[in-house]
Amino acid sequence: MTLAIITTRAGLGLDAPEVQVEVHLANGLPGMTLVGLPEAAVRESRERVRSALTTSDLEFPLRRITLNLAPADLPKEGGRFDLPIALGLLVASGQIPSEALSGVECAGELALDGRLRPVTGILPFALATRAAKRRLLVPRANADEAALVAGLEVLPADHLLDVVAHLLGKAPIEAHRAVPPVMVSQEIPDLADVRGQHQARRALEVAAAGGHNLLFAGPPGTGKTLLASRLPGILPPLSDDEVLEVAALRSVCGMALAPEWSRRPFRAPHHTASAVALVGGGSKPRPGEISLAHRGVLFLDELPEFSRHVLEVMREPMESGRIHIARANCEREFPAQFQLIGAMNPCPCGHLGDPRQACVCTATQIQRYQARLSGPLLDRIDLQVAVPALPADQLTADTRGEPSSAVRERVVAARERQAERGELNARLSGRALDEACALGAADRAWLAETLERLKLSARAYHRVLRVALTLADLAGHRRLGRDELIEAIGYRQLDRLLRGG
């Protein structure tokens, strides 16, 4: 046979489109031509494949070789095409029967001695292979990750010779058994460690129940970071499909398989992070922190210290739950359904309103500092809570707060009520929100008057309704009433303060 076709897949963000590696051998001067829009790492595969075949005592065809990666208009990146190209040469030269690769997809980078090295983005590859009802041949280092996809037969190999022996029927490779990530519950910080701060604890529970964004503001050392780190422990566990979503994003970034893959992510980038690091991008677009926090928590400590431009680029994905990155030669879209938890000091020195220490900032400095958070961004933060300094007797008290497990039970029950509506309260909009709230005439009039007096925007009005609905769900009420509205508006006082209202 002088023509071979091997099936593999490209990596385009979370997509893994099918690629046919076509190998043709013809008479003429020995040489290899690679076409099909390969980038530099793919073009260099010619030398890696040549060395891997010769050092493995396999014949490298001394003929005119044409390699086509189809479809031709699809960009090809990385070393994942080494193994398919090597197998294509072996099939085309008659060293491996073509039927041995029927129903098989493969990927892997080759070392010069024929060893197989892992590649990034193997989980989206595996999901697409399962959808195509084929088997997957990968380097052993990728096998655990690929085997997370239930119903997929994964064949792991350490060396090119192992693959050849398997395809020739001399030493069949056994299917890899999945080793799912293990939840390490004792490593999750417990809410019981938080002393006092009852309003902040309540706001944290409401945020968890409805999927709301939350901002803590207060002097240094009052427990803002401590509170934020407890949020993952009161969120419901991820479903199997959500675990794969989170794992696929980490896979695209080349992050290793780890036990925390089965938990909701908690990302806490430093305030020096760039816009690209936060939302994703680059010449070859990759997920940013907001996507790595998908289905979990994005914690931004010292929120006003972030560049205003960096914060503003989050506004659209906070609404849509997705980030669309467009470049001159490509476009990528990544999911970004995260809960934003922010923490900030009320002023540059941090002691505005602190009974323990006087503030030394001028009014202009305070106004400039607080103005780093724009009105549109604050509108998108449903819960805004002051975290005051605690008296010494509360800090030294020997009583522990309510544990995360008890709070999580209420959160799960509230989310079950929201599941009947088909969406978390934080994402309800339009008619679905109006139907779920259904305020009486007196409550509508009271709410309109209150919002007018507090100078809150139309977006803030809908945020108030969503929070009030979550409060009703936590209380087990079928309809929200005046009590829920009053508490929900109480969580908007901070953005009025920060705007100088």
Please write down the HEC assignment for all residues of 442-494.
Answer: HHHHHHHHHHHHHCCCHHHHHHHHHHHHHHHHHHCCCCCCHHHHHHHHHCCHH
- Return the beta strands (E) in 228-348 as ranges: 266-267, 280-281, 286-287, 297-300, 322-326, 331-335, 339-344
pTM over 0.75: yes
Structure tokens at 196: 């006092």
Residue 19 near residue 28 (C-beta atoms within 8 A)? no
Q: What is the per-residue pLDDT across 27-67, written as a single tens digit (0 to 9) for each?
A: 988 999 999 999 999 999 999 999 999 999 999 999 999 99
Residue 297: the pLDDT is: 95
Q: What is the per-residue pLDDT across 146-198, written as a single tens digit (0 to 9) for each?
A: 998 989 999 999 999 999 999 999 999 999 987 655 544 446 788 888 887 88
Residue 38 near residue 10 (C-beta atoms within 8 A)? no
- 352 — phi, psi (to 5°)? -65, 120
Residue 365 CB neighbours (<10 A): 14
| Ranges of H-type helices in 93-171 | 122-131, 143-146, 160-167
Residue 424: the pLDDT is: 92
Indicate the DSSP class of residue 359: -
Residue 434: the pLDDT is: 81
Confidence category of residue 341, pLDDT binned at 50, 70, 90: very high
Residue 442: the pLDDT is: 87
pLDDT exceeds cutoff 70 at 1: no
Helix, strand, coil percentages (3-state) for the chain, rounded to 5, are 45, 15, 40
Query: CA-CA distance, 9 to 16, in Å (whole number)?
Result: 6
Percent of the chain topping pLDDT 90? 59
Query: CA-CA distance, 152 to 124, in Å (whole number)?
Result: 12
Using CA atoms, how far residue 98 sits from 93, 169, 373, in Å, is 10, 13, 62
- C-alpha triplet 130, 135, 138: angle, nearest 5°: 105
Higher-confidence residue of 282 and 311: namely 311
Most confident of 294-303, 399-408, 451-460: 294-303
pLDDT exceeds cutoff 70 at 383: yes
pLDDT exceeds cutoff 90 at 332: no
Query: CA-CA distance, 454 to 377, in Å (whole number)?
Result: 17
Cα of 80 vs its chain's centroid, Å: 23
Higher-confidence residue of 9 and 477: namely 9
Q: What is the per-residue pLDDT across 209-235, written as a single tens digit (0 to 9) for each?
A: 999 999 999 899 888 999 999 999 999
Confidence category of residue 334, pLDDT binned at 50, 70, 90: very high
Residue 58: the pLDDT is: 96
pLDDT exceeds cutoff 60 at 284: yes
* Residue 265, preceding peptide bond in cis (omega within 30° of 0): no
3-state SS assignment for residue 261: helix
**What's the average model confidence in pLDDT over 356-382?**
88
Task: Please give the class, per CATH, of domain 185-422.
Answer: alpha beta
Residue 186: the pLDDT is: 47
Query: CA-CA distance, 365 to 367, in Å (whole number)?
Result: 5
Q: Domain spans of the chain?
A: 3-167, 185-422
Residue 156 CB neighbours (<10 A): 21
Please write down the HEC assignment for all residues of 163-230.
Answer: HHHHHCCCCCCCCCCCCCCCCCHHHCCCHHHCCCCHHHHHHHHHHHHHCCCEEEECCCCCCHHHHHHC
Mean pLDDT, rounded, of the chain: 89
Cα of 27 vs its chain's centroid, Å: 50
Range in 225-229, 336-340, 439-443 the model is least confident about: 439-443
Indicate the DSSP class of residue 333: E
Residue 499: the pLDDT is: 46
Query: CA-CA distance, 434 to 442, in Å (whole number)?
Result: 16
Residue 370: the pLDDT is: 86
pLDDT exceeds cutoff 60 at 447: yes
Query: CA-CA distance, 143 to 260, in Å (whole number)?
Result: 18
Burial of 106 (0-12, 13-18, 19+ CB in 10 A): buried
Q: What is the per-residue pLDDT across 71-125, written as a single tens digit (0 to 9) for each?
A: 998 989 999 999 999 999 999 999 999 999 999 999 999 999 999 999 999 999 9
Residue 501: the pLDDT is: 41
Per CATH, the number for 3-167 is 3.30.230.10
pLDDT exceeds cutoff 60 at 267: yes
pLDDT exceeds cutoff 80 at 397: no
Query: CA-CA distance, 188 to 282, in Å (whole number)?
Result: 33
Residue 93 near residue 43 (C-beta atoms within 8 A)? no
Residue 408: the pLDDT is: 94
- C-alpha triplet 137, 142, 143: angle, nearest 5°: 65
First-last CA distance in the chain: 79
3-state SS assignment for residue 346: coil
- C-alpha triplet 303, 308, 309: angle, nearest 5°: 130
Query: CA-CA distance, 276 to 394, in Å (whole number)?
Result: 42
